[in-house]
Amino acid sequence: MTMSVIDVVLGFLAGVASSLVASYFFPRFRRAADTFFSSLALWLNPQRFSLTGTWEQTFDEPLDKKGIKKVTETETIRITHGFSSITGVGRTQNRPRDFNYDLRVLHHLVDGSYSKVATQGNIAGTGTIQMTISDDRLRMIGHTTWLDRDTGKIESSQVEWKKIS
């Protein structure tokens, strides 16, 4: 059996097309499945916790180019907790900036990444965050790290999230 060049090219193009379709739909499918299974798990076991709601985060960030002076920033974040994933959007108060969150929950640990949204809607920066959940599930404490474009350095801060609704 011989394969023609056309068969190889068509097979390659079909593989590329299917991988693009899968990479586009899989994250949406995962979020939908997480939401469905989370709702089902809460219905079957009301003792299971959900972090869905509005949270207020505080963290310190550099105020000057050298990164010596710091200011405490407050951010309001609306998150949705589906099964083992958390997605959310936040907005800072002092210097208004928007952030998108993509986090994971494992027992009492929340970790993942966030991205700063630029004025044109593209990503202007990213960071990572890791927190532990309090026993009453109304507070999370941890650390965040990001590349600060103002100082040109990797910055880090302790974070505290408090559930406000």
Domain count, the chain: 2
pLDDT confidence of residue 49: 79
**Is there a single domain that holds both residue 43 and residue 5?**
yes
What is the reported pLDDT for 109?
A: 95
Which tops the pLDDT comparison, 72 or 40?
A: 72
Residue 46, pLDDT score? 55
Same domain for 137 and 111: yes
Last residue of a domain, one of 16, 31, 48: 48
Please enumerate in sequence order all residues whose Cβ is within 8 A of that of 118, keeping only pairs 6 or more positions apart, or say none.
124
pLDDT band at 62 (very low <50, low <70, confident <90, very high): confident
Query: Are 15 and 35 within one domain?
Result: yes
114: number of Cβ within 10 Å: 21
Same domain for 62 and 23: no
Q: What is the pLDDT of residues 121-146, one digit of tens each?
A: 666 789 999 999 999 999 999 999 99
Q: Tell me which DSSP letter residue 164 carries.
A: -
Q: Which residues contact 33 (CB under 8 A, 6 or more apart)?
A: 83
Rg (CA), the chain: 20
d(CA 75, CA 95): 10
Residues 16, 65, single domain; the answer is no
What pLDDT, on a 0 to 100 scale, did the predictor assign at position 23?
Answer: 65
Tell me how far apart the alpha carbons of residues 35 and 148 are, in angstroms, rounded to a whole number. 33
Q: What's the pLDDT score for residue 2? A: 58
Do 28 and 63 belong to one domain?
no
Q: What's the pLDDT at 9? A: 77
Nearest to 78 by CA among 91, 94, 61: 91
Helix and strand tally (H, E) in the chain? 1, 8
Give the mean model confidence (pLDDT) for residues 94-115: 93
Residues 142 and 158 in one domain: yes
What digits encode the pLDDT tens for the residues 1-50?
556 777 767 777 777 777 767 666 677 776 677 667 766 766 666 556 78
Do 33 and 61 lie in a common domain? no
Q: Please report which confidence band the pLDDT of residue 149 belongs to, taking 50, 70 and 90 as the band edges.
A: confident
pLDDT at position 146, please? 93
Cβ atoms < 10 Å from Cβ of 139? 15
- Please indicate, yes or no, whether residues 59 and 91 belong to a single structural domain of this protein: yes
Structural domain of 71: 53-163
* Residue 34: per-residue pLDDT: 67
